[in-house]
Each structure stands twice: as structure tokens, then as C-alpha cells.
């Protein structure tokens, strides 16, 4: 199995995060062409490629292996507020898909703030609260679930969110939410 420079570039991009068809057309074509080779290369490392051609994204995920096998990819623990924002964005993406024929789900910063404020305690310092929400938005952008649109205060909700925030994830979040509220 030989890996060329272009294929290596695709593998490196995957290790750096989600690879989107629209953002990286050259690498996407190489991934389509060399998917089997890349998968075979990564499998012995305990990593698999999740490739959603219809939605236009691909990312890496750790395989379930023996306990003593070292993990190449780290799992991130998300704070309650980041998790809540992901859930709200996932619900907005579902609404968008049911109501629109557009491929890109766009949401403004103001809409995110309004959505999120419903779940925060009333604050006397509204500026501080908005700055906190902006910080959460930045974390979600860094995670790759939102993309800031140029020259606007709007964001695209990335479709990869569907893969991470699925029905099982939402169910687990609801259980943690009940535990959180009971404390």
C-alpha cells in the first residue's frame, strides 16, 4: 500500500479535523478516489474514516479496540453550556432541513444569543452574558460545528453536527440535564 503526497495531505487534514467537500474540493476528490487505501492505512492505528458523501464531510474516529491499545485520537469532554449550545444548534438544523430546500443552514449571532438566553438565569449584566455566549460560539466554531461567514455576524451550522449529536447523544444529554437540575 503506497501513500502519495496528495493522499498524505488528505490524511493530515483528517487528523486536524473535519474535511468538508465544499471547503477542500481537491482533497475531497482524493479522498473519494483513495478511500479504501486511506481506510486500510489508518485501521491498524485504531482509527476509521467516517465519510458522509451525501452531506459532504469526513472525519476520523477511534475504533473500539482492546483496553490496553493506545488511543491516537483524544476525546474531548464538553462543558454543560457547550453541550447545550450543540443541542440547540442541532435542533435548529433539523428545523431548517424540514422547512427549507437550501443546503446551507445559516443562523445569526443574535438568533444564537436569543436561543441560548432562554436557558440561562436572568442576569443583571446583559453585556457579560452576551460575551459568555460569544465565547461559547467561538468554542463551537473551534470544534468545527459552526463556520463564521465572512463580512457578517452569521454562522453556517455544519452538517457534521448531525453525526455527533445523534438521538443517542441527545438522550444521554437529557439524562445529564435531569441530574444537573436535581443538584
User: pLDDT digits over 26-80, tens only?
Assistant: 999 999 999 999 999 999 888 999 999 988 999 999 888 767 677 767 777 788 8
Contact indicator for 27, 11 with CB cutoff of 8 Å: no
180's CB contacts (< 8 A; 6+ apart) are 80
Output the pTM of the full model: 0.75
Q: What is the mean pLDDT of residues 125-137?
A: 85
98's CB contacts (< 8 A; 6+ apart) are none
Residue 19: pLDDT over 70 = yes
Q: Enumerate the β-bridge partners of residue 49.
A: 60
Amino acid at each position: 500500500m503506497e501513500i502519495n503526497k496528495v493522499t498524505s495531505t488528505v490524511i493530515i487534514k483528517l487528523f486536524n479535523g473535519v474535511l468538508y467537500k465544499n471547503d477542500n474540493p481537491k482533497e475531497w476528490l482524493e479522498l473519494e478516489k483513495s478511500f479504501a487505501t486511506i481506510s486500510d492505512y489508518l485501521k491498524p492505528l485504531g482509527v476509521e474514516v467516517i465519510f458522509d458523501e451525501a452531506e459532504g464531510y469526513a472525519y476520523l474516529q477511534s475504533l473500539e479496540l482492546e483496553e490496553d491499545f493506545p488511543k491516537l485520537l483524544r476525546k474531548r469532554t464538553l462543558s454543560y453550556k457547550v453541550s447545550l449550545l450543540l443541542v440547540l444548534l442541532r435542533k435548529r438544523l433539523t428545523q431548517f432541513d424540514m422547512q427549507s430546500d437550501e443546503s446551507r443552514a445559516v443562523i445569526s449571532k443574535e438568533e444564537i444569543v436569543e436561543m441560548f438566553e432562554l436557558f440561562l438565569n436572568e442576569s443583571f449584566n446583559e453585556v457579560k452574558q452576551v460575551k459568555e455566549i460569544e465565547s461559547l460560539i467561538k468554542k463551537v466554531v473551534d470544534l468545527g460545528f459552526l463556520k463564521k461567514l465572512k463580512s457578517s455576524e452569521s454562522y453556517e451550522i455544519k452538517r457534521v453536527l448531525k453525526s455527533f449529536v445523534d438521538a443517542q447523544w441527545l438522550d444521554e444529554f437529557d439524562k445529564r440535564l435531569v441530574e444537573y437540575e436535581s443538584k
